[in-house]
């Protein structure tokens, strides 16, 4: 399996150079000009294009059983969508039901993940606690290449991790050398506000953001950071969506704490006016948690990315179609939470980040792949264009245009939160494990072609920069 990417400009998180990239059997074998290559090498012409590490989306939920239904993109369709958007690796979540053994849940997800068309890996959620959970975390680390554990501070009476669980689990992560991650929203406050809104007869999607105001996230972000700080553990905040949470991260970093932040492509560009749509279906299609926010929070997220308070971009890809959203027709708390974005993330980041002068192309690479690879200990296997790295590569045409639309997406969902957005700068070819996986609108892979990626434990002092 030999492939030569010829004539492009290589953009990494550090530098931009003009060179060809020679890949053999899924790895980058050589980088340079006038390389000696075997006669049977497939040539991919990248003249006038950029050659960048394939995207890593560190936060997706394919076929997640959630709120009485199952997310509509399964691992086969969701990862095809990822490839169509230049993403070659997803990190999804094993979410055990309370009392379900972690290892059992892990095997269930691993089985589902085996249909992936791009590479996939798993965080595992800690949704309950006892001695077996403590033990199973070590088994997951030692035998299954899991180096990060997720904690939902919201979703009371379902998967919420209370403070006692956070303390036990963060301590265990520290002991093992794994990274604890949190969905930071105060679940007690969300629950309380939801009941109050329903009592007042406010039952539509417009109530969703009212039940989860920014301070609910700010409080939980500060609490998680302070618990981790007290224990001396690192902490990674998923889908940071508010100025309050960015400030909390910034403050902790200034005080020497190891804190990582992730933001979503959707939160960077969509605001909370979507919940006022007079069309119930459209408003409900935007119900996700944390919700979309007033514009000033988007500005804070962009500044967070620019100042390295936030290091990664993700999507929380969790697709639900109109008939699933309709489960909450009379009660907004029953609308399945989730939106899609794995296909659009890199294009949105390029157009609204690089084209708008907010990010350099090298910073774009940092926030779409390299930083996630570093934080979750995949670097330089992934997130790099370097000899010996995996040949997970996206070829990007900075001049080509595309209008994002539900009509042209791979994702199995009947709505796009990015509908009608015109993008300049799009992926034209995605190479995954040294093979052309998507090219000019065509998927070349099959379900099962993606590889399961194990992630070794961290060095205790690892930092993304
Ligand atoms: N938020 C969502 O919107 N969907 C899945 C899980 C989550 O935390
Ligand atoms: Zn979440
Ligand atoms: Zn999520």
pLDDT in tens, 311-328: 999 999 999 999 999 999
Supply the DSSP symbol for 162: P
pLDDT in tens, 98-117: 999 999 999 999 999 999 99
Name the residue with the closest Cα to ligand 1, atom 7. Answer: 289
Q: Is the CB of 352 under 6 A from ligand 1?
A: no
pLDDT band, very low/low/confident/very high, at 459 (cuts 50, 70, 90): low
pLDDT band, very low/low/confident/very high, at 462 (cuts 50, 70, 90): very low
Q: Is the CB of 316 under 6 A from ligand 1?
A: yes
Residue 463 pLDDT > 80: no
Residue 257 pLDDT > 80: yes
Residue 461 pLDDT > 90: no
Instruction: Say what the pLDDT of residue 8 is.
Output: 98
Pocket test for ligand 1, best of 57, 58, 66 (most atoms within 8 A of CB): 66
Q: Is the CB of 151 under 6 A from ligand 1?
A: no
With beta carbons less than 8 A apart as the criterion, state whether 240 and 262 touch. yes
Cα–ligand 2 centroid distance for 465 (angstroms): 24
b/e burial code for range 191-215 (CB count within 10 A of at least 16 → b) = bebbeebbeeeebbbbbbbbbbbbe
Residue 70 pLDDT > 70: yes
Angle at the Cα of 218 (from 215 to 223), degrees rounded to 5?
125
Per-chain mean pLDDT for the chain = 97
pLDDT band, very low/low/confident/very high, at 277 (cuts 50, 70, 90): very high
> Residue range 405-432: average pLDDT?
98
By percentage, how much of the chain surpasses pLDDT 70?
98
pLDDT band, very low/low/confident/very high, at 465 (cuts 50, 70, 90): very low
Pocket test for ligand 1, best of 266, 318, 319 (most atoms within 8 A of CB): 318
Residue 138 pLDDT > 70: yes
Alpha helix stretches (DSSP H) within 95-130:
102-113
Predicted TM-score (pTM) of this structure: 0.98
> Residue range 329-339: average pLDDT?
98
**What is the position in ligand 1's atom list of the atom closest to the CA of 66?**
5
Backbone angles phi, psi at 241, to 5 degrees: -130, 0
**What is the position in ligand 1's atom list of the atom closest to the CA of 339?**
3
Instruction: Say what the pLDDT of residue 95 is.
Output: 98
Instruction: Say what the pLDDT of residue 111 is.
Output: 98
pLDDT band, very low/low/confident/very high, at 458 (cuts 50, 70, 90): confident
pLDDT in tens, 113-129: 999 999 999 999 999 99
Q: Which two tokens stand for residue 412?
A: 């199995």
Q: Is the CB of 92 under 6 A from ligand 1?
A: no
Backbone angles phi, psi at 244, to 5 degrees: -60, -45
DSSP 332-379: GGGSPP-B--TTTHHHHHIIIIITTTSS-HHHHHIIIIIHHHHHTT-T
Q: Is the CB of 211 under 6 A from ligand 1?
A: no
pLDDT in tens, 375-397: 999 999 999 999 999 999 999 99
pLDDT in tens, 295-312: 999 999 999 999 999 999
Pocket test for ligand 1, best of 264, 288, 332, 336 (most atoms within 8 A of CB): 288
Question: Which strands, in side-by-side order, build the sheet including 55-60?
Answer: 55-60, 87-94, 119-125, 148-152, 179-183, 235-237, 259-264, 312-314
> Residue range 406-419: average pLDDT?
97
């Amino acid at each position: 399996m030999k492939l030569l990417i010829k004539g492009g400009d290589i953009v990494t998180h550090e530098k931009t150079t003009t060179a060809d990239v020679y890949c053999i059997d899924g790895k980058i074998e050589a980088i340079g000009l006038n390389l000696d290559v075997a006669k049977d090498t497939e040539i991919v012409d990248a003249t006038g294009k950029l050659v960048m590490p394939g995207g890593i989306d560190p936060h997706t939920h394919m076929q997640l059983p959630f709120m009485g239904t199952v997310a509509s993109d399964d691992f086969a369709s969701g990862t095809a969508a990822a490839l169509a958007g230049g993403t070659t690796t997803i990190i999804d979540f094993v979410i055990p039901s309370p009392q379900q053994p972690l290892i059992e849940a892990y095997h269930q997800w691993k089985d589902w993940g085996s249909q992936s068309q791009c590479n996939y890996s798993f965080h595992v959620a800690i949704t309950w606690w006892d001695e077996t959970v403590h033990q199973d975390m070590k088994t997951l680390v030692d035998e299954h290449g899991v180096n990060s554990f997720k904690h939902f501070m919201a979703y009371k009476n379902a998967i919420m991790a209370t403070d006692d669980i956070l303390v036990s689990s963060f301590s265990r992560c520290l002991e093992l050398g794994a990274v604890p991650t949190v969905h930071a929203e105060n679940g007690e406050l969300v629950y309380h506000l939801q009941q109050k809104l329903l009592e007042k007869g406010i039952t539509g999607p417009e109530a969703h953001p009212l039940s989860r105001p920014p301070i609910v996230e700010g409080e939980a972000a500060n609490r998680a950071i302070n618990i981790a700080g007290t224990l001396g553990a690192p902490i990674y905040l998923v889908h940071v969506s508010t100025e309050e949470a960015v400030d909390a991260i910034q403050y902790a970093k200034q005080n020497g704490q190891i804190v990582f932040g992730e933001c979503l492509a959707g939160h960077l560009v969509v605001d909370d006016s979507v919940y006022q749509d007079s069309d119930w279906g459209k408003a409900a299609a935007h119900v996700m948690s944390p919700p979309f926010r007033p514009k000033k929070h988007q500005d804070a997220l962009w500044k967070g990315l620019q100042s390295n308070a936030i290091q990664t971009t993700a999507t929380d890809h969790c697709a639900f179609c109109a008939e699933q959203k309709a489960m909450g027709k009379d009660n907004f708390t029953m609308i399945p939470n989730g939106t899609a974005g794995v296909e659009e993330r890199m294009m949105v980041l390029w157009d609204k980040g690089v084209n708008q002068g907010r990010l350099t192309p090298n910073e774009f690479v940092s926030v779409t792949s390299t930083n996630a690879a570093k934080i979750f200990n995949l670097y330089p296997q992934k997130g790099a264009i370097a000899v010996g790295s995996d040949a997970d590569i996206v070829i990007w045409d900075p001049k080509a245009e595309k209008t994002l639309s539900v009509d042209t997406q791979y994702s199995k969902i009947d709505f796009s939160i990015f509908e009608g957005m015109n993008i300049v700068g799009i992926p034209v070819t995605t190479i995954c494990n040294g093979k052309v996986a998507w090219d000019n609108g065509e998927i070349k892979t099959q379900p099962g072609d993606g590889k399961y990626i194990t992630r070794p434990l961290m060095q205790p002092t690892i930092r993304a920069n």
